[in-house]
Amino acid sequence: MNHVLAPAASASLIRSEVAGLPRYDPGADPDEVAALSGARQVIKLSNNESPFGVSPAVAEAVRLSLADGVSRYPDPTGKRLADAIGKSLDVPAGRVVLGNGSENILELLCQAVLDPGDLVVTQAPGFSLHETFPRVMGARVEKVPVTAGFGFDADAWRDALAAGPKLVFLANPCNPTGAVVSAGQLEHVVAAAPRSALLVLDEAYGEFARPDPEYPDGLEALRGLDRPWIVLRTFSKAYGLAGVRVGYGIASDAALVEALDRVRTPYNVNRPAQDAAIAALGDHEHLADTVRRTGLEIARVTGRLRGAGLGVVPSSTNFLFIDTGCRSDRVARELHRAGIIVKAWREPGYENYIRASLSTPEENDVFVRCLTEICAKDKP
Ligand SMILES: Cc1ncc(COP(=O)(O)O)c(C=O)c1O
């Protein structure tokens, strides 16, 4: 007997807000690209991961964590990790929230704060989950575009914030452009947002941007403010821990953390992830080395692509937003045939752009060669 239900049986159960949502686009599947290209090793530049691996201390911490047995639940409060983060940033542990990746905290914030019809303001182009999670809650999302030169549009931000959002998502640096919001621009957003609004400063790529003199430390900028805010950071990018899923937030007050505790699944950060993050946090040298090597590659690859006539947005992150001059989904498909995965950007107005994370110098050279060849074919 066939027990598979027809899709129509469940379709009527799905909330209308959910039915209309796009699925998250993680980029092409490496196994499929390997099969398509015949490449022994696919070059994956689609998820802004670190090519420089993790600190040796992380590998050892995960080994010990697993050896100690995974038959017990992890600490639901993540106390040791929250303490370590709090100590490193001079913040009480009660104002630290942990997530199964920082995207988990984005989701929890929406669940805890948003009612149907509430307004959320964020950036365009931007990180898709800044729009998806509010929409799951039935909120409206207003996206503030960058200027033609990928800069911060102060007037557009002022106007959008005047409409009274309950929540503001600002990524600094921005994904996908890689651009930073300066201290003055951040102050502008803070001043223009309603005092009751929750300001969410998403610093997923902050470690890469720290050497940029324009880049403000968001925590230092918001720390003294008497209004709701949270700064989100992650171990997925510069620390190289994307696979174990751990991110954190520093909140304006313990009550916000307690609200998130009420909505989150109790054991949202697994034990190897907690142990790995503690070890990662302690290895300053590995972090500094990753940031330094990434910066060198960003400068080198930007120069080479520009030299080949491609438009590249100046980036303070580990990825580049590149104007290919033609439809980026076609460019991405051709790159797949060469065994390289990038993200073709799909937001309106950016259909010629790809976002490519940088990898090792060797892999980046292959990427630059293939991309410039593909784009040269399209030139008259
Ligand atoms: C701007 C931004 N915020 C948050 C995240 C979520 O990262 P994670 O959940 O791995 O911490 C990402 C991931 O790509 C991102 O680009």
Ligand 1 centre to CA of 254 (Å) is 23
CA-proximal residue: ligand 1, atom 3 (nearest) = 204
Ligand 1 centre to CA of 175 (Å) is 9
Residue range 256-285, pLDDT digits in tens? 999 999 999 999 999 999 999 999 999 999
pLDDT of residue 304: 97
Q: What percent of the chain has pLDDT over 90?
A: 93
**What's the rounded Cα separation, in Å, for the pair 372 and 344?**
16
User: What average pLDDT does range 367-375 have in this prediction?
Assistant: 96
DSSP code string of 46-91: SS---TT---HHHHHHHHHHHHT-SSSPPPTT-HHHHHHHHHHHT-
Judge whether residue 4 has pLDDT over 70. Answer: no
For 92, the 3-state DSSP assignment is coil
**Entry pTM:** 0.96
Residue 126, beta-bridge partner list: none
Residue range 12-52, pLDDT digits in tens? 899 999 998 999 999 999 999 999 999 889 999 999 999 99
Judge whether residue 221 has pLDDT over 90. Answer: yes
Contact criterion met (CB below 8 Å) for 45 and 359: yes
Judge whether residue 316 has pLDDT over 60. Answer: yes
Ligand 1 centre to CA of 170 (Å) is 12
Ligand 1: residues with CB < 6 A are: 48, 101-103, 127, 171, 175, 202, 204, 234, 236, 242, 247
Residue 70's pLDDT band (boundaries 50, 70, 90)? confident
CA-proximal residue: ligand 1, atom 12 (nearest) = 204
Ligand 1 centre to CA of 128 (Å) is 10
- Indicate the top mutation candidate among 203, 234, 241, 321 to test ligand 1's pocket, ranked by most ligand atoms within 8 A of CB: 234
DSSP code string of 136-180: HTT-EEEEEEPPTTS---HHHHHHHHHT--SEEEEESS-TTT-PP
Residue 380's pLDDT band (boundaries 50, 70, 90)? low
User: What average pLDDT does range 76-98 have in this prediction?
Assistant: 97
Ligand 1 centre to CA of 203 (Å) is 9
pLDDT of residue 3: 64
User: What average pLDDT does range 231-260 have in this prediction?
Assistant: 98
CB atoms within 10 A of CB 261: 16
For 228, the 3-state DSSP assignment is coil
Ligand 1 centre to CA of 126 (Å) is 11
CA-proximal residue: ligand 1, atom 5 (nearest) = 103
pLDDT of residue 69: 77
- Indicate the top mutation candidate among 97, 98, 127 to test ligand 1's pocket, ranked by most ligand atoms within 8 A of CB: 127
User: What average pLDDT does range 321-329 have in this prediction?
Assistant: 95
Ligand 1 centre to CA of 379 (Å) is 35
- Give the atom of ligand 1 at the shortest distance from the alpha carbon of 242: 10
Cis geometry, peptide bond prior to residue 213 (ω within 30 degrees of 0): no
**What's the rounded Cα separation, in Å, for the pair 264 and 111?**
9
Ligand 1 centre to CA of 280 (Å) is 17
Question: Which residues contact residue 2 at a Cβ distance below 8 angstroms, ignoring those fewer than 6 apart?
Answer: none
- Give the atom of ligand 1 at the shortest distance from the alpha carbon of 235: 11
DSSP code string of 337-377: HTTEE-EEP-STT-TTEEEEE---HHHHHHHHHHHHHHHHH
Ligand 1 centre to CA of 9 (Å) is 34
User: What average pLDDT does range 275-303 have in this prediction?
Assistant: 98
CA nearest 105: which of 256, 249, 274?
A: 249
Contact criterion met (CB below 8 Å) for 173 and 208: yes
**What's the rounded Cα separation, in Å, for the pair 97 and 82?**
7
Judge whether residue 314 has pLDDT over 60. Answer: yes
- Give the atom of ligand 1 at the shortest distance from the alpha carbon of 174: 1
pLDDT of residue 106: 98
CA-proximal residue: ligand 1, atom 15 (nearest) = 204
- Give the atom of ligand 1 at the shortest distance from the alpha carbon of 102: 11
Q: What percent of the chain has pLDDT over 70?
A: 97
pLDDT of residue 68: 86
Pairing relationship of beta strands 353-357 and 319-323 according to DSSP bridges: antiparallel
For 291, the token pair is 């940031």
pLDDT of residue 287: 98
Ligand 1 centre to CA of 102 (Å) is 6
For 320, the 3-state DSSP assignment is strand
Ligand 1 centre to CA of 12 (Å) is 32
**What's the rounded Cα separation, in Å, for the pair 327 and 344?**
9
User: What average pLDDT does range 321-340 have in this prediction?
Assistant: 96
Rg (alpha carbons) of the chain, rounded to whole number: 21
**What's the rounded Cα separation, in Å, for the pair 366 and 348?**
29
- Indicate the top mutation candidate among 175, 181, 200, 205 to test ligand 1's pocket, ranked by most ligand atoms within 8 A of CB: 175
Question: Which residues contact residue 292 at a Cβ distance below 8 angstroms, ignoring those fewer than 6 apart?
Answer: none
- Show the CA angle centred on residue 291, arms to residues 290 and 292, nearest 5°: 90
For 306, the token pair is 């520009």
Judge whether residue 184 has pLDDT over 80. Answer: yes
Residue 199's pLDDT band (boundaries 50, 70, 90)? very high
- Give the atom of ligand 1 at the shortest distance from the alpha carbon of 100: 9
For 380, the token pair is 């008259």
pLDDT of residue 177: 98
pLDDT of residue 10: 85
Residue range 339-360, pLDDT digits in tens? 999 999 999 999 999 999 999 9
For 96, the 3-state DSSP assignment is strand
**What's the rounded Cα separation, in Å, for the pair 4 and 226?**
55
Residue range 97-136, pLDDT digits in tens? 999 999 999 999 999 999 999 999 999 999 999 999 999 9
User: What average pLDDT does range 214-219 have in this prediction?
Assistant: 97
Residue 6's pLDDT band (boundaries 50, 70, 90)? low
Judge whether residue 288 has pLDDT over 70. Answer: yes
Judge whether residue 1 has pLDDT over 60. Answer: no
Residue range 58-69, pLDDT digits in tens? 999 999 999 987
